[in-house]
Amino acid sequence: MKSPWLNKLSRNFRSRSPFKWLLLCLVSVLVVIALLGSSSSTFNSVTSSVKNDIYTNYRKLKEQARSDYLELKSLAVGENQIKDVGVCGKERENYVPCYNVSANILAGLKDGEELDRHCELSREHQYCLIRPPKDYKIPLSWPAGRDVIWSGNVKLTKDQFLSSGSIMKRLMLLEENQIAFHSQDGMMVDDVKDYSHLIAEMIGLGSDTEFLQAGVRTVLDIGCGFGSFSAHLLSLNLMALCVAAYGSSGSHVQVALERGLPAVIGNFISKQLPFPSLSYGMVHCAQCGIIWDSKDGLFLIEIDRVLKPGGYFVLTSSTTQQQGSSTGAKKGIMSTSLEDFTKKLCWSLLEQQDETFIWQKTVDYQCYTSGKQDTIPICKGQDMQLYYQPLAHCISGTGSDRWIPIHSRSDSMNSTELKDSEFWKSAVRNYWSLLSPLIFSDHPKRPGDDDPLPPYNMVRNVLDMNAHYGGLNAALLEAGKSVWVMNVVPLGVHNTVPLILDRGFAGILHNWCEPFPTYPRTYDLLHGNGLLSHLESQGCSIVEVLFEMDRILRPEGWIILSDKLGPIEKVRMVATQMRWEARVIDLQDGSDQRLLTLMDNPGFVTNSSVDVFIAIFLRLQEALDNSKFLDCRLGSKCNYQKKGSEGTEKGRQEK
């Protein structure tokens, strides 16, 4: 059976006269020479007689066309000799770039550092689409998906589940193809609630419903098990982010994200977490496997760095106790291991009950400069733009204007943040209406005001790849959508992660020239406002980022990009080669801004480099019929008006 490309090509063969074909061939040869030749005497003689402004426009067109051609060519016969945009091998079903333990060991990394993230040691770029496992199924909608997941969607064995005991006594039912995170009598739910209530009482609250009143809005859950504690905190309107180490044989992060819970791969064996100082109101560790008094207290210093003044560190671990039953014996081990160092950090031990210890960080930054002996030095310089820096043996944040006790913080926003918030309130309804396969039909239709919108739980895990102030996050929640958003602030822009975290949202700093620290198939919706222009300004490969987006996106997931016409059109062309459904939407506001809506097609067919060059050929053929083609490539408003026709050809702007 012929492919659609070949059918379209054959129709054009039959419809052309010999004269037109001769003209087309001549134009094709000239375009190829213009693209591949740096300069020639023929073009020099022609362009020398043209006015400067026309020459400038031609030169810009030539440079842009050459750039587009080379990027498309890289998909087919690029430097890595990639001939097909096909599927990756089975071994890449759960592939996470930058975590290659064997390569790290060969590079001489040891003492746990080989388990860290090292993108500089794994710069392989294999242009292929990661396929889902054989037994993969689309996750259940929220909130059903929180309690039941498909066992074929995660890389965890039955033995790993059975050996995952913890103080929360997770009771998971393993059926033939499902994993349930509850029992019929609700015992696990009660255990988690009791544990949360215990923590609230230990810090002096009447109930865990008072966490928000006490200033705790964001919680960093280290290790996080399979997310049951985080799920309970989310029900209390707290943002609990799970951070756990990468595991080649399965990870708590993968399970948490599959359940629709906020999570990201991360550890701090040798590098700081990608969060700014003074980020979280509480850090929680329950059997997370970290030896806190090792490495001269570097791990505790990192916890102090991300804790807000007055924040709490909750540690539940049997390893902190000495053998014996007396309370004095238990506290004795604390005085010789953790207690001494926590005093250097100006933490106070609020209470200890059984295996649970809670410390509170001081609100008085002068405590660190009190002149006591054996104190930890203060860090020098600003740390707002930290990104996987080595662990530092110094105290951060004392000179920051964000040194505000958690119970004294306000929710006020400045004028810029308010303007951003109002914009997204009006945009969310339009965005939500795009989540419909109708827009990809031959006669696209966007739902009107009277048409029903997609359901509130259409998507759950959202990745805002250029989050600005977190306005999209706020607008989605205000509109009653059942989502959580990972707000990413790219390197190279104003670091708004502190503002995002202060609003009670999940936020992280990331360099989009590198892969994102998550497992494949973990997000339902990817959003990027101005992301493509940012990538170009940073010298990042848009093609590589698109393949990374495909890795992250769940089957039947959605992508919404808002940017200038040039980058949008480039992405649309590449996206069709990756078998994504694509539709460009003109905002009709007189600007060159466009919306690009993409939908992952789980039933994609492997396409070859022949398709790529047929696409280029058809674009050249289209140039003969569209008088404004050159103006379009220069970035002006493109209506694709045919020669001799009246009006514009509707629908092409949304092709």
Residues whose CB falls within 8 Å of the CB of residue 439, separated by 6 or more in sequence, listed in order: 445, 446, 583, 585, 597, 654
189-408 shares its CATH topology with 415-605: yes
| More confident: 296 or 31 | 296
| More confident: 21 or 527 | 527
CA distance 606 to 600: 14
Of 12-26, 183-197, 372-386, 566-580, the range with the lowest mean pLDDT is 12-26
CA distance 257 to 220: 15
Mean pLDDT of 159-167: 53
- Give me 464's structure tokens: 């805002």
| More confident: 344 or 318 | 344
pLDDT at 38: 40
CA distance 475 to 424: 6
pTM: 0.77
pLDDT tens, position by position, 126-147: 788 998 999 999 999 999 999 9
Mean pLDDT of 79-88: 58
pLDDT at 120: 84
Residue with tokens 């059926």: 175
Q: What percentage of the chain reaches a pLDDT higher than 90? A: 40
pLDDT at 146: 93
Sign of CA dihedral 148, 600, 72, 594: negative
Average pLDDT across the chain, whole number: 77
CA distance 520 to 539: 25
CA distance 592 to 572: 15
- Number of alpha carbons in the 13 Å side-chain half-sphere of residue 62: 18
- Residue 568 contacts residue 594 (beta carbons within 8 Å): yes
pLDDT at 96: 92
pLDDT band at 242 (very low <50, low <70, confident <90, very high): very high
Mean pLDDT of 213-232: 92
pLDDT at 652: 38
Q: How far is CA 575 from the centre of its chain?
A: 18
At the topology level, CATH places domain 189-408 in: Rossmann fold (3.40.50)
Q: Calculate Rg over the CA atoms of the chain.
A: 28
pLDDT at 122: 72
Task: Give me the residue spans of the domains in the chain.
Answer: 1-86+609-655, 90-121, 189-408, 415-605
Of 104-118, 321-335, 471-485, 634-648, the range with the lowest mean pLDDT is 634-648
pLDDT band at 408 (very low <50, low <70, confident <90, very high): confident
- Residue 622 contacts residue 615 (beta carbons within 8 Å): no
Of 113-117, 333-337, 569-573, the range with the lowest mean pLDDT is 333-337
pLDDT at residue 615 is higher than 80: no
pLDDT at residue 52 is higher than 80: no
pLDDT at 23: 63
Q: What percentage of the chain reaches a pLDDT higher than 70? A: 68
pLDDT at 647: 41
CA distance 310 to 278: 10
pLDDT tens, position by position, 460-510: 999 999 999 999 999 999 999 999 999 999 999 999 999 999 999 999 999
CA distance 41 to 154: 61
pLDDT at residue 22 is higher than 70: no
| More confident: 65 or 231 | 231
pLDDT at 31: 55
At the topology level, CATH places domain 415-605 in: Rossmann fold (3.40.50)
Of 192-201, 278-287, 331-340, 408-417, the range with the lowest mean pLDDT is 331-340
| More confident: 100 or 568 | 568
pLDDT at 74: 52
- Give me 304's structure tokens: 């102090």
Mean pLDDT of 299-312: 96
